[in-house]
Structure 1
Amino acid sequence: MKLDYRNAQKNDLETLITLLSDDDLGRKREDTSKPINTSYLTAFEHIEQDPNNELVVIEFQQQAVSMLQLTFIPYLTHTGSWRCIIEGVRIHSDFRGKGIGEQMFLWAINRAKQRQCHLVQLTSDKQRPDAIRFYEKLSFIASHEGFKLVLK
């Protein structure tokens, strides 16, 4: 399956929000109402303006079938190296199980190498055991315990 990768445009937002809400967890936390919640527009503008953030749309035959966000962060650790964080990974439910995930992760890892990152990291909700198995299959290691504090 030949996939095409491109930076998201503002007119992709409705599609991206739909992708983000296309599972049990996403339905609980995303806002698919129209017009688009202005918080999404503000976040998109910040991402678009930041050279260390890439919001990527993955297309198959000119249809958006997947997305992810790459964030590149300089660190003092590991001799002042860079890291790539992969977030917001979603594949349209009609396209899951077709090898898209592996292709897009290989692309993302290559993108991190192009940016001379030392490390690629991600988090996955513990309520997504299939995703965790998928990341382990790609040689990601659950080497750290993650913590989050929701601020509202």
Structure 2
Amino acid sequence: MAIASDQKPAPPVVRFREAAEADLETIVSLLADDALGTTRERPGRPLADCYREAFERMRAAGGHKLLVAETPAGEIVGCLQLMLLPGLARQGLVRAQIEAVRIARPLRGRGLGALLIQEAIARAHAAGCGLVQLTSDASRGEAHRFYGRLGFSASHVGFKLLLD
């Protein structure tokens, strides 16, 4: 039976797990596979030491999770970073921050990104978070619409200061 042209193919079957160091090359390749990532990341072999060092800092800090979506064949097809941020504001509310969301190019638009975000939200809720937030570069209009469809609201204006 043919799929109607207005229907998207179903998302692939995946499982979600925390990343291991052996996954870093694939994750960095995912991060680099878009217009902004190509200017910021250094994929390839050998993997730049900065990525392994950052991964170790994340593990040592606690409250930082690098999640991957993996097919039954063991192929990593998506990733995101989830950080738990305790704070005083909002009566001591713990926030979850989602960053670096990427889906493998051939699978974009099939619902995998929504499943990955939903997994992050479920993990944040289980960890006692009362709010999930994320940032997205101002140039990523399609991503903004995606996050809006998932229930996120563009409630704040963000600022960044790049330090040397």
Please indicate the TM-score interval, normalised by the length of the shorter structure. over 0.9
1:150 aligns with 2:162: yes
Q: Does 1:26 align with 2:37?
A: yes
Q: Which residue of 1 aligns with 2:117?
A: 105
Picking from 48, 54, 66, the partner of 2:65 is 54
Gaps of 5+ in 1: none
Structure-1-length-normalised TM-score: 0.96
Q: Which runs of 4+ in 1 moved over 6 A?
A: none
Q: Does 1:43 align with 2:54?
A: yes
Q: Which amino acid is the alignment partner of residue 92 of structure 1?
A: A
1:86 aligns to 2:98 (yes or no):
yes
Match of 1:123 among 127, 135, 138: 135
How many Å apart are 1:50 and its aligned residue? 2.6
The equivalent residue for 1:8 is 19
* SS, match of residue 14 in structure 1: helix
Distance 1:30 1:71 in 2: 20
- Structure ID, larger Rg: 2
Unaligned 5+ segments in structure 2 are: 1-11
Q: Distance in 2 between matches of 1:96 and 1:60?
A: 15
- Distance in 2 (CA, whole Å) between partners of 1:39 and 1:130 is 30
How many corresponding residue pairs? 152
- Give the TM-score of the pair, scaled to structure 2: 0.89
Q: Percent identity among equivalent residues?
A: 43
Q: CA RMSD in A?
A: 1.0
CA distance in 1, matches of 2:133, 2:77: 23
Q: Distance in 2 between matches of 1:79 and 1:11?
A: 39
